[in-house]
Amino acid sequence: MNSINKKEIEKFSKIAEEWWNPNGKFKPLHNFNPIRIKYIKDNIVKDFNIKYSNRPLRNIRILDIGCGGGLLSEPMSRLGASVVGIDASKKNIEVAKFHAKKNKLKIDYKVASPEMLKTVKKFDVVLNMEIVEHVEDLNFFIGESSKLLKKNGLMFIATLNKTLKSYAFAIIGAEYILRWLPIGTHDWEKFVKPDDLINISKKNDLTLNKIDGMEFNIINNSWKISDDTSVNYIIKLVKN
């Protein structure tokens, strides 16, 4: 079996050179990134009882799945984590490697999907951020991701809910009206309801710890964590 959706990989490979342009095709992710980084960092620090410092994640081993050009891998590395970033797009990994080298960051980037990654040592944290809506087989993908996580390790999954509101906001609004994203970036049929994602995770030895919404304020152009999971949401899971 295989979790790679070739059409999705081709789609993102075509715009790989845009990853680090804050005003380019990945502008929404750049706007989104600070709240993602803080959420992940604060939850890791809390769950692993880490004392705050400039590099609080220095003893944490993180796997960033579907890392793209490294928008999350780099901040995690700067926070001290030992980071492995994987992506099925060779072009994405080339961009990520080049940018990390330019910024003198040691990140282990590989062209791979979870089922292809060979590692003896499991990870403390697995990040599946804005990736599950682009994979071929969600149950298989979560299962293979779970195998790479240590017992009591954390998995974060951020994605889009399958609601009429998410169709209106993420596709009609973001792609067609505001042109924040290239048309065709998302397929509403592949959006995932939280209950479905939680049930799939449960079947793959992962227990829900918490779920939060991520809400965009169009007036001040910023994101915040909220109780509203109707469009964007993030779940934190613990490996059994």
Angle between helices 138-147 and 194-203 (to 10 degrees): 50
Exposure string of 63-85, with b = 16+ CB inside 10 Å and e = fewer, is bbbbbbbbbbbbbbbebbbbbbb
Taking the domains of the chain in order of start, what are their residue ranges? 6-239
Which residue, 190, 139, 137, 132, is CA-closest to 166?
A: 190
Which pLDDT tens digit goes with each residue over 77-123? 999 999 999 999 999 999 999 999 999 999 999 999 999 999 989 99
Helix (H) or strand (E) holding 195: helix 194-203
C-alpha span between 74 and 91 (Å, rounded): 17
Paired residues of 84 in beta bridges: 63, 108
Are 39 and 225 spatial neighbours (Cβ–Cβ below 8 Å)? yes
Backbone dihedral region of 49: left (phi > 0), alpha (psi from -120 to 50 degrees) or beta? Answer: left
Fold of 6-239: Rossmann fold (3.40.50)
The reply to whether the predicted model has a pTM over 0.85 is yes
Give 195's contacts (C-beta < 8 A, 6+ positions apart): none
Which pLDDT tens digit goes with each residue over 25-73? 888 889 999 999 999 999 999 999 998 888 999 999 999 999 999 999 9
Which pLDDT tens digit goes with each residue over 172-215? 877 666 676 777 787 888 899 999 999 999 999 999 999 999 99
